Amino acid sequence: MSIDLFQYNLMMERAMRAVVREALTKVAVGGLPGQHHFYISFRTSFPGVQMSDALRERFPEDMTIVLQHQLWGLAVHLDAFEVTLSFSGVQERLVIPFAAITGFVDPS
């Protein structure tokens, strides 16, 4: 059995997180252009994820959020981003480490 000295899978994960970080940074500065919107899936139990107890009860393992029309206070940091979204008319602040993300899609 060969040993993966390069660990390409880890390189790809870091590269994809950088893509997500850059896309979110552009949105934080200039808003979502045109028809762009993001589906972001993440592990809710990942260390550093901050969300209300009510949301954590509804989504104990994973969750997908949509960044489109109703988002406020998007802030992008080196290792995480935070955003306020509306869930059933209630605004909730989320902090999501990039390492918790399991999927990112921009259907546009």
pLDDT at residue 1 in the model: 66
What would the pLDDT profile of 24-58 be if each residue is shown by its tens digit?
999 999 998 888 899 999 999 999 999 999 999 99
Q: Could you report the per-residue pLDDT of 13-33, keeping only the tens digit for each?
A: 999 999 999 999 999 999 988
Residue type, 14: R
**Half-sphere exposure (Cβ direction) of 46: Cα atoms closer than 13 Å:** 17
pLDDT exceeds 90 at position 2: no
**The two structure tokens encoding residue 69:** 């029309």
State if pTM tops 0.75: yes
What's the pLDDT at 55?
Answer: 95
* pLDDT single digits (tens) 63-95: 999 999 889 999 999 999 999 999 999 999 999
